[in-house]
Structure 1
Amino acid sequence: MELYPITTKIRAYWETISTSYWFIPACLMAVSVVLCSLCLALVQRASIPGWLLAFFPIVTQSGAQQLLSTLATSIITATSIAFSMTLVALVMASSQFGPRLLRTFMLDKGTQVVLGVLVATFLYCLISLHHLSSITQNEDALSIISASSAILTILDVVCIIYFIHHLAKFIQADEIIYRCFSDFLGDIDSLLPRPEDQPDERPLTEELAVRTSFSITLFSECNNYVQTINYRELINRNPDIIAGLEVFVRSGDYVAVGDPLITFYGRGEISKEMVNKYRKCLVFGRQRTPVQDPEFAVSQLVEIALRALSPGINDPYTAITCLDRLTSACVIMHDREFPANCVVNTSTNIWLLRRTFALASVINTAFDQVRQAGESHMAINLHLMHCYKTLKNHLDTKYHPLLKSHAKATMYLASKQTFSDKEQDELDQANKRFLQTA
């Protein structure tokens, strides 16, 4: 389920809702209540044609009551088992892949829909059972209610079979890594919007961002993470008063009470009341989100790799898979344009100076910790050199010194380990191939 909201605040709220286990089940429960109410209102005046009697056999009131009671009991039991399996999977994911990977599990719509269908069917049977005593004369209505409940129960059985298969597949390391990478691909347009999506903005050199003497600073009133910042709204409001803004935080930063957020430079005096209205342009929360934070998705893959390289797990193959995905993520981000540090709105002439993300910082986030954690694994060192070589083939030459520094750091950490002559020769050859890459 995708949503393309108008404002960054709605997008942040949707991120919270989409990673919950209550939203889709609550929607399906509401649909179940409406469907059951319509069914009860119609079936009391309904009659079954003769050719449908094979599918809707005539049942008595006591038979319908017993059937609905049995179905409701069975479904709520299956629901509790499904919830238990989900919690077990979450515990396993938290211990093996890291607690921040729980977001990927909770974002899975398959699990949310299965849980929603189960509780919605239970609610349908419960409401039908409650109104069953009011249907005394029309046996056809009893048959329709019983048959519809049985059909929903068959659907539940199919959902449970799918759920077991889905959960067994979902807890595999390769699948988790692929889901994290897919989430990154789905968020790339909001992380790094294309210039044509912002036609009224153009880059500006910092020297042209003139700081006036009329300035006022907006300070933080909470201790939370910055989740999203509505930059477009910041440079569109009050052009007759605001000349420019300097934003000191970016998405993913943690701020404490009293930390400076934005400094406004005006064409005249700026009131505190007007400045306080700009707080709505920043959304804070208890945790980081991937809405405007390119390093968030990268950090998730890094966390899986670090867990895999820990002494308790010692799974370098999972770490190698993470390195492949991290390399692909860096190549994809290289093809997108990162936001400029300083921009100006061509309509309002308000300039904006901000801290932004850069591909160099993303590369450092992707490989620094994995290199340090995998220094004793020759397979990791060799694959790191392969990743640097791949990036050198795809990235602009301005990033080659950075990649060279990463390769040099990998060779230095490997030299401090005790490897055989054969393994050291393989690493030297990998370094030679990297240096010879055009």
Structure 2
Amino acid sequence: MQPWLIPTIYAATSITAGFLLPRLEAKFVAHSLNLSTSSAQAYLSAVASGMMALTGIVFSIAFVLVQFNAIVYSPRLVVWFARDRLLFHSLGMFVATFMYSLATLAWIDRSGIEGVPLISAATVAVMLVASVLMLSQLVQRLNNLQITRVLQILGDTGRDVIRSTYGSPQRSAAGQADEGHRQTPPDSFALVVRHRETPQAVTSIDVQRLVACARMIDGVILLECAVGDTLLLGTTILRVHGKAPADVEKQLRTSVHLGEQRTFEQDPKFALRLLVDIAIKALSPAINDPTTAVQAIDQIEDLLRRLAACDLEACRAFDENGILRVIYQMPTWEDYLALAFDEIRQFGSTSIQVIRRLRAALVQLAGCVGRERVSSVRAYLDHLDSSIERSGFDPQDRAAAHIEDRQGLGLSRRQEESNASPDRRTDQIGRTTS
């Protein structure tokens, strides 16, 4: 459901209830509220006027806070915060309370009708209480804009995406397929599907549906795009090797889901991208907050540790008979490593705190990744050390930057290596991880 439909449904429901409920109550319910007409009108008028004033104040503050924090953290977080469904449910409840109060107010003291409708007045009171609860939840949600909560939410989202992306049966089967079934991709293709619309981002890919299509035509589908790519006019989406009947192109197009912007679905890179954006924004001269960058590296390192335990090479999907059907694109370990650390290393090259935290992250990663990936981590650590040697630090700062510290500037956990040379420490890391 589109978010804008939520307050629309609330408003339509309140208008319908305000039109029907007082009439049904006047016809079938004999009891009325023991309250004077003037008091009831004052009560309903206060609720209606108060709800509109509250709506304007609350949402003005909410959007200002969202915009401010999104500018400070990352512009890509604007939509993430602004599309929070609680925001739309709160708006819908506030508008519904206002409109139903007006409808009940209009029914009081009509010609030929005496008393105050009991059920309608009680409904207004219940909606008012629900609005207060919505307001409290909305204020609590605004607390999530604190930097610690933002980083934690992004980290949790990234962990969920990694679990769903690399833990699904389809992808596990692709990674565990017998080597004898790993056919070579075909050189000739019967159908090439290209993008025909305005620029759009690939939000997700239905691999299982593509496998079914490839099995139906007894062919192989090669995806040329990956989740997170932006497709332009004429960009190749996929290639089909097989019979490729005329009606299969529509099914293939609907298997690649497009949107105006990237989403977290099937895209662990997007969570890393937002965490890196926050880190490098904090390292900008306008903000100059390296501690926030260190906190972002905490979440980034955790995501990389989880990715290190996944089969990142599972880029082929097979049908139930073990026949290759779909070849898709996924990031490699080196892609994740570069995305996570390159920009932070570049923008944080003048911060000893950031450099020490990066060294600690790389040293810890070198100790938990497999043998096939440890060489990439060691090469990146060597690159970081060479960057320190080329930096403008004086000898004392350069020596301090070579010490790995999980707090950046807090606790040097490798005290026994503090006085060792960078080359010697790198050799020791290589020996312990080999």
For normalisation by structure 1, the TM-score amounts to: 0.83
Residue pairs, 1:180-259, within 5 angstroms:
180-195=154-169, 203=177, 208-209=183-184, 211=186, 215-222=190-197, 223-237=199-213, 239=215, 241-259=217-235
Asked if structure 1 preserves the Cα contact closer than 8 Å seen for 2:175 and 2:315, the reply is no
Shift of 1:406: 1.8
**What is the identity, as a one-letter code, of the residue corresponding to 2:71?**
S
Q: In 1, distance between residues paired with 2:112 and 2:375?
A: 83
Asked if structure 1 preserves the Cα contact closer than 8 Å seen for 2:219 and 2:325, the reply is yes
Which residue in the other structure is 2:36 paired with? 60
Query: Alpha carbons of 1:326 and 1:282: their partners in 2 closer, same or farther (altered >3 Å)?
Result: same
Shift of 1:106: 2.6
Residue pairs, 1:7-156, within 5 angstroms:
17=2, 20=3, 22-30=4-12, 32-33=14-15, 36=18, 39-40=21-22, 43-44=25-26, 45-46=28-29, 58-132=34-108, 137=113, 139=115, 141-156=116-131
Q: In 1, distance between residues paired with 2:175 and 2:356?
A: 43
Q: 1:264 aligns with which of 240, 246, 251?
A: 240
Query: Alpha carbons of 1:306 and 1:390: their partners in 2 closer, same or farther (altered >3 Å)?
Result: same
Q: In 1, distance between residues paired with 2:284 and 2:373?
A: 30
Q: In 1, distance between residues paired with 2:44 and 2:126?
A: 12
Q: Once structures 1 and 2 are overlaid, which stretch shifts more, 25-34 or 301-310?
A: 25-34
Query: CA offsets, 1:364-412, max 9 Å, x none?
Result: 1111111111000010000000111221222212221111122122222
Q: In 2, distance between residues paired with 1:362 and 1:41?
A: 63
Query: Alpha carbons of 1:177 and 1:63: their partners in 2 closer, same or farther (altered >3 Å)?
Result: same
Q: In 2, distance between residues paired with 1:135 and 1:180?
A: 59
What SS does the corresponding residue of 2:204 show, helix, strand or coil? strand
Q: In 2, distance between residues paired with 1:182 and 1:229?
A: 22
Q: In 1, distance between residues paired with 2:166 and 2:96?
A: 39
Q: In 2, distance between residues paired with 1:198 and 1:379?
A: 39
Shift of 1:101: 1.2
Q: 1:291 aligns with which of 261, 265, 268?
A: 265
Q: In 2, distance between residues paired with 1:375 and 1:192?
A: 33
Structure 1 unmatched runs, 5+: 1-13, 49-55
Structure 2 unmatched runs, 5+: 405-421
**What is the identity, as a one-letter code, of the residue corresponding to 1:436?**
Q
Q: 1:337 aligns with which of 304, 311, 316?
A: 311
Aligned-CA RMSD value? 3.0
Shift of 1:277: 3.4
Q: 2:381 aligns with which of 407, 420, 432?
A: 407
Q: 1:163 aligns with which of 138, 153, 165?
A: 138
Q: In 2, distance between residues paired with 1:207 and 1:197?
A: 14
Shift of 1:109: 4.4
Asked if structure 2 preserves the Cα contact closer than 8 Å seen for 1:215 and 1:270, the reply is yes
Q: In 1, distance between residues paired with 2:207 and 2:340?
A: 26
**What is the identity, as a one-letter code, of the residue corresponding to 1:142?**
P
Higher relative contact order (CA closer than 8 Å, sequence separation 6+): 1
Residue pairs, 1:288-367, within 5 angstroms:
288-338=262-312, 340-347=314-321, 349-367=323-341
Asked if structure 2 preserves the Cα contact closer than 8 Å seen for 1:304 and 1:319, the reply is yes
Asked if structure 1 preserves the Cα contact closer than 8 Å seen for 2:211 and 2:317, the reply is no
Query: Alpha carbons of 1:270 and 1:164: their partners in 2 closer, same or farther (altered >3 Å)?
Result: closer
Q: Once structures 1 and 2 are overlaid, which stretch shifts more, 213-222 or 91-100?
A: 213-222
Shift of 1:81: 0.8
Asked if structure 2 preserves the Cα contact closer than 8 Å seen for 1:302 and 1:369, the reply is yes
Q: Once structures 1 and 2 are overlaid, which stretch shifts more, 377-386 or 115-124?
A: 115-124
What SS does the corresponding residue of 1:418 show, helix, strand or coil? coil
Q: In 2, distance between residues paired with 1:346 and 1:289?
A: 30
Shift of 1:122: 1.6
Shift of 1:299: 0.2
Asked if structure 2 preserves the Cα contact closer than 8 Å seen for 1:228 and 1:284, the reply is yes
Query: Alpha carbons of 1:135 and 1:244: their partners in 2 closer, same or farther (altered >3 Å)?
Result: farther
Q: Once structures 1 and 2 are overlaid, which stretch shifts more, 37-46 or 220-229?
A: 37-46
For normalisation by structure 2, the TM-score amounts to: 0.84
Query: CA offsets, 1:13-54, max 9 Å, x none?
Result: x6xx4xx4x244334445545655674355333355xxxxxx
Asked if structure 1 preserves the Cα contact closer than 8 Å seen for 2:74 and 2:277, the reply is yes
What SS does the corresponding residue of 2:226 show, helix, strand or coil? coil
Query: Alpha carbons of 1:39 and 1:226: their partners in 2 closer, same or farther (altered >3 Å)?
Result: same
Query: Alpha carbons of 1:375 and 1:218: their partners in 2 closer, same or farther (altered >3 Å)?
Result: same
Q: Once structures 1 and 2 are overlaid, which stretch shifts more, 319-328 or 81-90?
A: 81-90
